[in-house]
Structure 1
Amino acid sequence: MSAPESSRARGVDRVIGILKQLHIARRPMTMRELIEATGAPRSSIYELVTILAEAGWLEIAADGGVFFGREMHYYGADYAVHNDLISRAHQTILALVRKHDETAQLCMLEGNKYTVVLSENSSRPFNISADIGVKVPIPWTATGRLLLGHLRVEEIRALIPDEDFVLDNGRRVEFQDFLRDVEQAAAHGYCCTEGLSNTFRLCMAAPIRDRTGLPVAALCFMTSRDTDPKRRELMLDDLIASSKALSQPYSQT
């Protein structure tokens, strides 16, 4: 790689780094915070933020705080319209929330982590939810167990870092226990977990499959562990039926 190409590549990496740090922070950041978080030179961050602000990708508040600009919203909206699964899943999630008044989500794997792509909360004052786009260790989730059923044991072991088996409360999920959960989720066609990433949380997940039958995403309900068993059954039935309906365009030959 020539020197100019190398310089341009570093510039692109730094732009990506700025956007990632803003997403992680989920709030405006000062220039100093961005410099410390990205590890890039001060002059480079100032120059890139100025360029991105002029393009509308970032906005600089009167107090100097830097955050995503309006253009980023437009790009995100374009992606949602173009991606048929996300567009259809949004309508499905809204319908599930209206019917059951529980938080519903579309979840996927991103590399070796789990992330929420879409989320709609219930109308109740107390909600159990997760932030969109935040990467969470796979063993902390029902979705993670559901979307790994097609992988071999050695592939699962290689995919998930050892430290990700330690929950945020310090408890460790043993690998063999995790494998058993993965196998059961594959056999049942759904997965329910209680008290993993949140002591009071019950998560239900059902797979959305592609045309080869592989799970590419999951619909999830996030609710309380004290949810009535009969209500759980109804929610799970609707979740499974909805995920199968979303799979239809991808499962046809």
Structure 2
Amino acid sequence: MTQPVLESSHPSAETGGGVRSVKSAERTIAVLEYLSSAPRACSPRELTTALGLPRASGYALLTTLVSTGWVEIDGAGGYRIGIRALRAGASYVERDDVVQRAQPVMNELNDQLGETVHLARLDGAEIVYLATNISRHSLTVVSRPGRRLPSWATGLGKAILAGHPWEEVDALLPETLEARTVHTFTDRAALRAELEETRRRGHAIDDQESTIGLRCFAVALDFAAPPNEALSCSVPMVRLDPDREEAIVSALLRARARIIR
């Protein structure tokens, strides 16, 4: 029996699997992804220029997305991601098996350590935060669920990448490893050595590589081989000493064993 073929009045391209992609759907996804990662609201011209969309069809697409709640217009006339996208993202997290298994353990770990605990998943060359338990201290840095960061610049990402063969990691990463801070690994040879050390040590350390003044300890959740998720604890360096670091790593390892089991 032949597979159904998606047809559209818009131009379409054939994918590697032989199913034709729908141009209007591709453009819709591109707009939503661009707005979800934009630090501020965007003008129609900015959107159409960045995505290479024809101005008329780009504006028509934005009008449709606004009318359905996927995109909103702010007081200055800029476009930003809408509340329907929040509902879709929340639904994804609520139904995710890994999140459901990890969340009770994360709650206990957060109570025990008093520090911010994160759960993240590898998506391409980035990690996506799935769940966060915020520190009880006033001095803290939080990455909300849905936020994306370069895998090579985070403890979470390095914990996951260390479980993959280097050839896969090398092919996955972009040609240029952009720095988030002066401590980020931007040299491939140095990153490879760091991942080998992470594998030997059994946990990853983000030593101000993503945020100055913050150290993060992370362990991969090896539900499968290679792993795709990781658990971490982020702590401002002013609250760290060798004994504290050892206690955090030990707690993370125990938490991983409980989640996997």
TM-score calculated relative to the size of structure 1: 0.83
Displacement of 1:173: 4.3
Q: Match of 1:233, SS?
A: helix
Q: Mean alpha-carbon deviation: is it higher for 91-100 or for 212-221?
A: 91-100
Displacement of 1:221: 1.0
> Does 1:6 find its partner at 2:11?
yes
Partner of 1:221: 233
Unaligned 5+ segments in structure 2 are: 1-5, 13-20
> Does 1:31 find its partner at 2:44?
yes
1:126-174 Cα distance to aligned partner (Å, 9 max, x none)? 2123354444333212223221234333333222234116554387544
Q: Which amino acid aligns with 1:6?
A: P
TM-score calculated relative to the size of structure 2: 0.81
1:211-238 Cα distance to aligned partner (Å, 9 max, x none)? x443221111111223122222222222
- Structure 2 CA distance for partners of 1:59 and 1:167, relative to 1, 3 Å: closer
Q: Mean alpha-carbon deviation: is it higher for 99-108 or for 162-171?
A: 162-171
1:186-227 Cα distance to aligned partner (Å, 9 max, x none)? 2332112312223322110011111x4432211111112231
Distance in 2 (CA, whole Å) between partners of 1:171 and 1:146 is 15
Displacement of 1:118: 2.3
Q: Mean alpha-carbon deviation: is it higher for 219-228 or for 94-103?
A: 94-103
Whether the 8 Å CA contact 2:105–2:255 is kept in 1: the answer is yes
- Structure 2 CA distance for partners of 1:74 and 1:116, relative to 1, 3 Å: closer
- 1:156-235 correspondence to structure 2 within 5 Å: 156-164=169-177, 166=179, 168-169=181-182, 173-210=186-223, 212-226=224-238, 227-235=240-248
Partner of 2:15: none
> Does 1:244 find its partner at 2:249?
no
Match of 2:98 among 85, 93, 101: 85
Whether the 8 Å CA contact 1:112–1:138 is kept in 2: the answer is yes
Displacement of 1:2: 7.9
Partner of 1:136: 149
Distance in 1 (CA, whole Å) between partners of 2:201 and 2:75 is 54
Partner of 1:99: 112
- 1:145-160 correspondence to structure 2 within 5 Å: 145-160=158-173
Q: Match of 1:205, SS?
A: strand
Q: Match of 1:215, SS?
A: coil
Unaligned 5+ segments in structure 1 are: 249-253
Q: Which amino acid aligns with 1:221?
A: C
Distance in 2 (CA, whole Å) between partners of 1:2 and 1:213 is 38
Whether the 8 Å CA contact 1:138–1:164 is kept in 2: the answer is no
Displacement of 1:6: 1.8
Q: Which amino acid aligns with 2:177?
A: D
* Residues matched between the structures, number: 247
Displacement of 1:44: 1.5
Whether the 8 Å CA contact 1:139–1:165 is kept in 2: the answer is no
Distance in 1 (CA, whole Å) between partners of 2:184 and 2:230 is 25
Distance in 2 (CA, whole Å) between partners of 1:134 and 1:36 is 24
